[in-house]
């Protein structure tokens, strides 16, 4: 009888986390968000496991220069609640770009991660910045390019 060696799962503490920088200039929001979600989950690594946080850190710069396809600037709404009675608020994507452009990319990536404790943990590794500079130079982030 021939026995096969079973695959050993890597430990979370043995994983090394990398830092990546993504320039969001003229990128489509949904397509960029799906690629960033893959990096946050760790699907780009050979040691990917569904129940572990094996992903890397991602910094998005120039978040105010993203674009939507179609007529989403006028049709897409961002909703939130103030936790007061009748406190539902709504904002069009065009107004959201003027007031909080970083929330457009943050909400898009958040929607593509899991809706559980692991997804919330992975979302903490996402840093969205308005403008070309970020405060994470000490981590020596690498540039990450997507063919989208």
Which domains are assigned to the chain? Answer: 17-67+102-134 (3.90.1180.10)
Report the half-sphere exposure of 28 (CA within 13 A, side-chain side). 10
Q: If you average pLDDT over every residue of the chain, what do you get?
A: 92
pLDDT, mean of residues 49-73: 94
Supply the pLDDT for residue 36.
97
38: left (phi over 0), alpha (psi -120 to 50) or beta: alpha
129-147 residue pLDDT tens:
999 999 999 999 999 998 8
pLDDT, mean of residues 114-128: 96
Residue 143: enclosing H or E segment and its boundaries?
A: strand 142-143
Whether the pLDDT of residue 17 is over 80: the answer is yes
DSSP code, position 126: E
């Amino acid at each position: 009888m021939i026995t096969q060696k079973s695959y050993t799962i890597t430990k979370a503490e043995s994983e090394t986390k990398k830092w990546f920088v993504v320039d969001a200039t003229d990128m489509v929001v949904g397509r960029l968000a799906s690629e960033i979600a893959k990096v946050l989950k760790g699907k780009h690594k050979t040691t990917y496991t569904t129940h572990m946080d094996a992903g890397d850190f991602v910094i998005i710069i120039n978040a105010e220069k993203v674009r939507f396809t179609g007529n989403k600037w006028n049709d897409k709404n961002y909703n939130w609640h103030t936790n007061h009675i009748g406190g539902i608020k709504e904002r069009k994507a065009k107004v959201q770009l003027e007031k909080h452009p970083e929330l457009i990319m943050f909400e898009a990536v958040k929607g593509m991660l899991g809706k559980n404790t692991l997804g919330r943990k992975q979302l903490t590794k996402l840093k969205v910045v308005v403008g070309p500079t970020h405060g994470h130079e000490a981590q020596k982030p690498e540039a990450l390019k997507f063919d989208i």
